[in-house]
Structure 1
Amino acid sequence: MTDVSTPQPFAYLGAPNVQLYATVLAVFARAKQRFTVHLRPEDVLVDWPRESDRTDSPADSPADSPAGAAPPLPDTEMLVQALDKLVEWGNLRSDADTGRVSTVEDFNRARKIYQLTRHGQAALAAIDHYEQALGQRGRLQTVALADIAEQLAALLVHAEAPAPPDQAGVGLLLFTLTERFTGLADNAEAFMSSLRRAVDFTDGAEDAFLAYKDRLIEYIDKFIADLANRGAQIAGLIERIEAAGIGRILDAAARRDAVDAVPEDDADSGADDAYAAAVRVAARDWENRWRGLREWFVSTGTRRPSQARLLRNAAVSGITNLVNTVAALNERRGGRSDRSADLRALARFFAQAPDDAAAHRLWRAAFALAPARHLTIDAQTEDAWEAADYPPGTPWADAEPMRISPRLRETGSYERRGAPNRAIDRDAGRRLLAAEADREAAEIAEARRLLATDGPVLLSELAGPDGLDLRAFRLFLSVLGDALAARRPGATTTTATSGDGSMEIRLKLVDADRVVTVHTDDGVLSGPEHVVEIVDLTEHARQAAAR
């Protein structure tokens, strides 16, 4: 047996024949999966990967290793040299092969069998984890949420049972729960990282991104709804299990794990002491795992929200960022100009002007800030223009001119000395505006009266047989939009107040699959059936003031 005092299991990654070493280790890794411990050089050659059995799995194909593609089949001498070098680095362990010795000559010939060391296995696992982490896109696992809820429901039965928990059943449930929860958390983290990379793309593949974003938004939206529903269910199950007694559940799992604990080297400690110590260690491990599960789904006040809530907020922010990115792409594609772009273009024109005279002409053309005292208008000219009723395209020369006093040119002042001109009487205009405002207020009040319900009614019955008129329908759309915007993901009921504080609407979803229609003067509004209650707050205020 070769003793490796200072293992260097990653040294082969910097060697010239890295493809050869990586392929040899991949053969040993596949043999270990088949529970084959020892390999001879001829066994390695038999299991050497061919082009016909090349797979796409990162864990099975040496072509996916950091070394690149697998080399061709080596001869026996080259393979033995590679095996001995891996033994020297600590990846493999060699033992004398005496199983097939039949003569003295065979015994004297150097024959070895090889197996992976702990250092070699750890190095392969680390490299495999590194490659998977680089290529992992992650996914939002709604199925994992359902599995976690199912495992917790089964665990609740053990927690509420008066008899001591079954160690085997509890241990298996907690193990499965831990596996599903760990996969959910890791995949969610990887997915959000890949989502951020998708939003901050720099490869310019705009067409692919635009085609992908609709499916991605729908995918995230579905997960948000499932996380809101399942997350509340899981949080409730966790609290019920803790109320029933999580300590004895974790203690039962710890006692089951402690059975397989390796005894300590201390000869003075008895078997009972070693078992008790193993139980304590396993109990601490299970308490830490349960704490992580609880903090992932259960919020601790407002200062420490759960990881599920943070993930939901991050997913909502991801949708917002996707929409903003799409809007920016569409704006860039459409070539829409804005004020900042126009000012930058004008700055370039000024920089390219040949002289000051050209810059002054450009200034006048861009801003038209020239003296325009002759554009002053008086009451007589305004009355004359209104009486003539000129169309918008009438040239200035064809319109009634404005009479300018010679005193304006002589003195620079248009006003005559003496008494001021008579002020224009605006009373008629004020009365007209007041009447218009009263009429609009009455129409809005009438629309509120038509929309206000005596109690909860179905959305399909809100409009009645004659439907809603135009103003009532637009007011209804306004309060309906406020209610839908205030509804949280996964919620079926919501209450909202209109922006002016005059109306309150309460919505409750009846059947998402049942589509109803509301007839209006503008057309037909379609949507899922809801129970609607609309309250006119101004009427309630008037009644309270009357009392």
Structure 2
Amino acid sequence: MGESTREPAHLDLFRYLTADERDEYIAIMSHFTSSLLADMSAATAAELLTAAGTPLAADTTETRCKQLVRWGNLVPSLRDTRVTTVADYLRARSRYQVSSLGGRVHRGALEIMSAADGAREVARELLGQIAHALADIPKLLDAGIEGERGERLAGTVTTVFNNQRLFTDSVTDFYAYLSGVLTRFDLGGEEYAQFKSLLLDYVDLINADVNKHAPLIAEALNQVLAVLDRLLPVLDALPGLQLGDDIAVERSAGRARSDWEQLYQWYSGEESGPGQLRAAAGQALGQLIANAKRILDSSRTGYSRRADLLRLAGRLARASDAEADRLFTAGFGAWPARHLGLGPEEPDPQITPTTSWMVADPIDVPVSLRERGNRVAKGRSSRVPDTATDRRMVEAAARAEAQRLREAAAELAACGALDGARLSPAARGVLLEQLGRLLTTDHDADAVIVDYDLGLALEATRGRRTRIDSHDGTLTVEGYTLSIRSIDSSLAALPDAL
């Protein structure tokens, strides 16, 4: 069976953790995983849930168990149930057991849910145990594998890889927690002093243990790799789980050559684990120094505003709704967003402070200001930019816009009466602009609007509607008959009011 067909089933194992009835599912799975090979019916599970303070009807429990079977967390029990009464049969007709993967998923979920939201201590003492266990493997091979020596050899190999996994998991969790703390923007005062001591003392202790034991482990691994061809057959010959070639068996770590090669790479490779730990410690120390600079230099925007924010929160809690709105707006500058002109480096000089940020081109913000809030100018002053290119670009854009308007005006002037005319979108846009100007005038009768720049006169006579077609739609003006003409030859005949 391919990996692509198994993946959805494995993902289904986690569905009960996010379902709407997750509390009920978790309680049911906790009872099925509380003892070894628990085998119970839905009615028994319902009684246990009720006794534990989670009352759930037997029918509902049955429904939840069947859903867990479909997800793969539970499997139906195959044990024959012998009963003496019909009631006992109905009570025990559906029995369930936890599946192997379902039990692993639930145990991991419970471990995560019960974990404290804090730092995890690094199991650094296991490094010495790993070094001693690796040094014993060649000695056990040379002494022979008769009797219990083979089992002792297998136990030593398993101990090495279990200790290595526990150490790497603990050190990964510790540095992830440390990184999350040191990148906090509000870290300061007593809390900063506490984590400074943590970094300088505990991290140094971890690095000292790694620097001490990593060379010993690498040297012991070289000796084990030299006798690996003798070690793997001995481990394979020991009694184990054999289910044939059709069923995959997950073996303990250390039974394959790839396991030893990966372990060797962790201690001796180009990107070795000790090297990564030293780099992580250096990065954490650099962040600690950056925080110290931020705390000491209060002239920049990077210092902690925790006290100010707490004071503002207190005032917001005591204020009315209207006062809270004004206070929030003033405190955080939450006015309508406007585009700020930043000088000659604007990519488009036509963008003004009234241009919305939604339609304007984005402005590049320096990395020091964007990531660290540092407004101090660094380096020498930049040269005054040459605006000749921008000026030529603006002039070319203005000429193109003027040509487009002239062509649209000529198209409109050629129409005369606009009812039934067919215009291009550009000409229709010019017409709508002129019509907007005309409709804003306070005229009860007919009206005329003149645009001397375009050389157009738009006349509106009250009467029937005007319908204008374009390839992308139809414009209908109700209550007016529109006509347009050029004013080059008829300027003298216009009314004096124009």
TM-score, length-scaled by structure 2? 0.50
TM-score, length-scaled by structure 1? 0.46
